[in-house]
A and B are shown apart, each in its own frame.
Chain A
Amino acid sequence: MKRLTCPMNGVRDISEFQYLGPVRRTRPDDADAVTRHLFYIENPVGPMIEWWRHRPSNTVFLAERHTGTDEIFRTWLPDGSEQQND
């Protein structure tokens, strides 16, 4: 079973989490940017920073994960407190 470290609850089973998608690099202020922001979502084969949610505790946090190997490097709360995955 794959595991993810919740910054609040520690190492938990991946089935307890909801994927909320990549952290977006675009900010929609004009029409072109809206299209880009809505439809052209980050799709690297490599490390990516993304939003996750621990469902039972409703903890929303950030994770850095490799989309090719599925390795999770680190997770942290939006306010900065970090927990290293082992």
Chain B
Amino acid sequence: MPFALLRYGLASKHRPFRDLPPTPDLKRSYDVVIIGGGGHGLAAAYYLSNHHGIRSIAVLEKGYLAGGNTARNTTTIRSNYLTQPSIRFYKEAVSLYETMSSDLGFNVMFSQRGQLTLAHSEATMRSFHLRAAMGKHLGTRIEVVDPQTVRELCPHLNMDIGGQHEVLGGLWHADGGTARHDAVAWGYAKRAAEKGVEIHQRTTVTAIRTAGDKVTEVVTDRGTIRAGQVMQAAGGLNGQMAELAGFPLPIRCMTLQAMVSQPLKPFLDTLVSSANLHTYLVQSSRGEIVIGGASDPYQLASTRSTFDQKEHLAEGALHLFPFLHNVRLLRQWAGIVDTTPDYSPIMGASPLQNYWLDAGWGTYGFKATPVSGKYMAQTIATGRVPDMIAPFALDRFDRFALLNEMGATAASH
């Protein structure tokens, strides 16, 4: 490899290469059709083609590749959830990120710098003890830390001693990290395309045709195709997509906003999150401070930002790091998130036999990109739902077997 690189560097004529082939014409039929070319759809395509030998796959994306929530998220990767099935699932997500760059031969810039969540009340401290105990039991790196340790982990933080939001302690999750969101999608797309997966950008699914309890055809604005198996990973509009297939999902659209500051010298080397202030911050490798928080306070299916929420995020960020008050914002945006009643995803079977769900990723699905891809691919290739994702089945709502992750998700994704 080093010699090849040297030869490439010294060569006078460079042959440019594309990571992704251009969108081809649609064929009449595919073994697997994946609706949604975000991280989740692409990861599933990668696992199907690279690990299960299925090559006749079309990924249909209405916009540009991974331009939905994959492009909009704040890239928090962590496994400090509350319920056993979630921790087990997200723990594997983190470990897949640890080897992703070398597995894909594509640099996804995974940076495992740890996540610090702050408690400003006794109630939050109690919930931290529960999360730490659960996490330790299942083998993740997580502990409750005192204010002195918080100060050592994050020396620039305003501890607000004696104030309304005094830091009483923290939840330190050494496994937490971030990765470059676009690279994750591009890496999976590149390796899937190499195996013959067709990625159709600017291709909108407009209808799903069924016969009995099976999907027969997927109708798009570029033509109609027959499909053996269909996987739905349509991001924020998952509820609307399921309605096209003829059944409802327990999903509500909410708007989630984020923003980044101008680049600063590196000063923040952990992810910092405050549940009470509904704000979290991370410094990107470019030096920008990425600021995120809770979703807008009412149902909305819009990618327009609101001044209220931006002001709220700025307020939280300034409370935690007052010296940011002079810093300018560089970019801000919003995404539509598909929120479920228990803040857990919906994976696996649908009311239709050959139609598989990868939905309800709400505010927390980026970290799950590799692990959901892996198990969704296994589901589609074998026709059986693996134990790992069985608890996330759609019918858990009928069985009242909810996986409530609101407390571990709502404010820090």
Contact = CB atoms under 8 A, between A and B. Distances in A.
B23 interface: no
A27 interface: no
Interface stretch (B48-56, B59-67, B127-135, B303-311): B303-311
Contact of B302 (A39, A43, A69): A69
A1 B304 contact: no
Interface stretch (B209-217, B223-231, B293-301): B293-301
A43 B299 contact: yes
B248 interface: yes
Contact of A2 (B250, B301, B308): B308
Nearest to A32: B398
Most buried by B among A39, A67, A68: A39
B397 interface: yes
Given A38-B341, A43-B299, A70 B304 contact: yes
Contacts of A2: 306-308
Contacts of A70: 300, 302, 304, 306
A48 B298 CA distance: 12
A39 B306 contact: no
Interface residues of B, number: 23
A71 to B, nearest CB: 10
B contacts with A: majority SS: loop
Contacts of B297: 18-19
A45 B249 CA distance: 14
B250 A41 contact: yes
A30 to B, nearest CB: 13
B376 interface: no
A14 B400 CA distance: 35
A40 B302 contact: no
Most buried by B among A32, A67, A68: A67
Contacts of B398: 32, 35
A15 B301 contact: no
The 7 closest A-B pairs by CB, nearest first: A19-B298, A39-B250, A39-B397, A45-B301, A39-B341, A43-B252, A43-B239
Interface of B: 237, 239-240, 248-253, 297-302, 304, 306-308, 341, 397-398, 400
Interface of A: 1-2, 14-15, 18-19, 21-22, 32, 35, 38-41, 43, 45, 48, 50, 67-70
Given A2-B306, A18-B297, A70-B302, 8 more contacts: A2-B307, A15-B308, A39-B397, A40-B397, A45-B240, A48-B299, A50-B298, A67-B301
11 contacts: A19-B297, A39-B397, A41-B252, A41-B341, A43-B239, A45-B237, A45-B240, A45-B301, A50-B298, A67-B253, A70-B302
